[in-house]
Structure 1
Amino acid sequence: MKLSEIKNLLPELNDVEFQLENGTFVPEHFHVTEIGLITKHFIDCGGTIRDEKVINFQLWNANDNDHRLKPAKLLNIVKLSEDKLGIQDAKVEVEYQTETIGKYDLDFNGKHFVLKNKQTACLASDSCGSSSAKPKVQLSAGSSSCCAPNAGCC
């Protein structure tokens, strides 16, 4: 989800709610403690130099159980970050701590923002030799197989 999409959704919402993919909600008294631009300049395993930019929201649970971030307040924080940091429209990722600090992609299900689990991937699979396809294996048939019924291997 891009920052422009969030800015378009916020005026239509009564509450700002974040939900993990497993259905668990971020507690209502969360704070958005940071909005920032993260730039990653790296080389993949195939030797290609890459640049990525994402906008990062950091969510934090405080002891302030009466705190509720309203959509207008979050929109003001977003606009402040655009003005002060020169943030342009880009994909948003969210940092949120469960057992450890996790990074999530962001989606919207019509009512809540959804923290989507991120996955790693090889960016150069065509040049580094990795393959996402599993090799096909020929299984032998017949009673000589060690996994035949009553063969004693299981």
Structure 2
Amino acid sequence: METQAAFNPLIKPFLVVQIGFVMCCTIVGIPLAIIWFLGVGRWWAQHYFDKLECRLTDRALRYKKGILVQVEKTIPLENIQDVTFVEGPILRYFQLSTLKFETAGHSAGQASDMHLTGIMDAHEFRNRILAARDALKHPPARDAATDPHLAALEAIQVKLSEIADLLRAERSAR
């Protein structure tokens, strides 16, 4: 089972506005922000969007992003403690949301670094992640009628019990 997440194209204008706003917060960044808003930001956002990828397998969640510096994170499902759904007013305006991951064995600063913004149907994808994690932690009970390995082990157990009974009977006959 492998699921590929789809990203909302509205993440592109969100990134342009978000990064442009950060640039405008400094005096040095204001001239850069003008260049950013005149087209460089749209070009960058399109290429960033094209590189976004998120795959959910039965054992891990893999996330890729980046243009110049490419980042790939793989989070084993058994390490995921919780997936938080975040949707603030600016994200809502762009019809986006963020999924944040709390993982086992990491400090709070590292766990907050693991987030996905812009996944379409984020609630459903969150539920798939949690269901895959729970299926991995609690595998379904095996049934001898449908599992040939379990049926063979049960047959071996029956034969071993018969051998043990024969040995006990032989000892008691002596």
Structure with higher Rg: it is 2
Instruction: Say which structure is richer in strand.
Output: 1
More helix by share: 2
Q: Aligning the two structures, in what range does the TM-score lie when normalised by the shorter sequence?
A: under 0.3
- Which structure has more relative contact order (CA 8 Å, sep 6+)? It is 1
TM-score for the superposition, normalised by structure 2:
0.21
